[in-house]
Amino acid sequence: MKFDTGLTRSTVLLCIISIIFPFAANWHFPLLNGVVVTYIENGQALWLLFVALFTAWYIKPLSRPEGEKQFWLWAVLWWLVLLGRSTNWGRVYFPEYPHVLFKVISVLLIGCLVLSLLSKPLRKEIYRRLREEPVPLWLMAVTTCTFLISDTVEHHRLLASLFVHDPRYRDLMEELYESPFMVGLFLVTLEFMKRDKQPELKPELTSAVQ
């Protein structure tokens, strides 16, 4: 695996924001009886839906060559799975429907994600990217750290107290740290998409010069 050690402004911004989050309790940031957390959750769901649609529109998976096509369809599916998980597979917005319906949705989405790995072109493309594609090191580090912090807070792990200065802010901290994780993951994905689009842009630039 190769790493791009360049430090971008977006990475620095995500890092600074993540450091500030725990002080929300010290500053007595209003929770409004859970309304703020609900708004953040809804914003995250809209963001994940947008990213799934944007990825499909920007990279146009079905028009990509073999290997890339399967990889980007798999990427879109990943965003849909994250969307499903963030909304409890839709139950958050449709609580009146039978629980079994949401169970079926989760099984279908996760099942498709796992079964996709049976595709040889997809496996070869994943391996090729791991071997050849440079990964933005610092952006990936911030993205991974914010995910781990969110998981630590959610499951009350040993270091949770470092980020939760007041138990009343636990849910808020969990959602806040999930946000830079989602943004960072998109920015990492966007780097891959831009590199895949470069071969398409070069002929256009050549034609414009001529």
Q: Residue 209: its pLDDT value, please?
A: 39
Is a pLDDT exceeding 90 seen at residue 137? yes
| Distance of alpha carbon 116 from alpha carbon 110, whole angstroms | 10
Flag the least confident range among 12-21, 52-61, 200-209: 200-209
Is a pLDDT exceeding 90 seen at residue 43? yes
Q: Residue 197: its pLDDT value, please?
A: 86
Average pLDDT (43-64) is: 96
> What is the band of 201 on the pLDDT scale with cuts at 50, 70, 90?
low
| Distance of alpha carbon 188 from alpha carbon 143, whole angstroms | 9
| Distance of alpha carbon 158 from alpha carbon 115, whole angstroms | 35
Average pLDDT (53-74) is: 96
Is a pLDDT exceeding 70 seen at residue 205? no
> What is the band of 129 on the pLDDT scale with cuts at 50, 70, 90?
very high
Is a pLDDT exceeding 60 seen at residue 185? yes
Q: Residue 141: its pLDDT value, please?
A: 95
Q: Residue 114: its pLDDT value, please?
A: 96
Contact 177, 163 (CB under 8 A): yes
Of 193, 157, 155, nearest to 54 by C-alpha is: 193
Average pLDDT (151-160) is: 90
> What is the band of 199 on the pLDDT scale with cuts at 50, 70, 90?
low
Could you tell me the pTM of the whole model?
A: 0.90
In this structure, the number of other CB atoms found within 10 A of the CB of residue 58 comes to 15
Q: What is the dihedral of CA 142, 148, 152, 158, to 10 degrees?
A: -90
> What is the band of 200 on the pLDDT scale with cuts at 50, 70, 90?
low
Q: Work out the mean pLDDT of the chain and round it to a whole number.
A: 92
Average pLDDT (80-96) is: 93
> What is the band of 73 on the pLDDT scale with cuts at 50, 70, 90?
very high
Unique residue bearing structure tokens 């200065």:
165
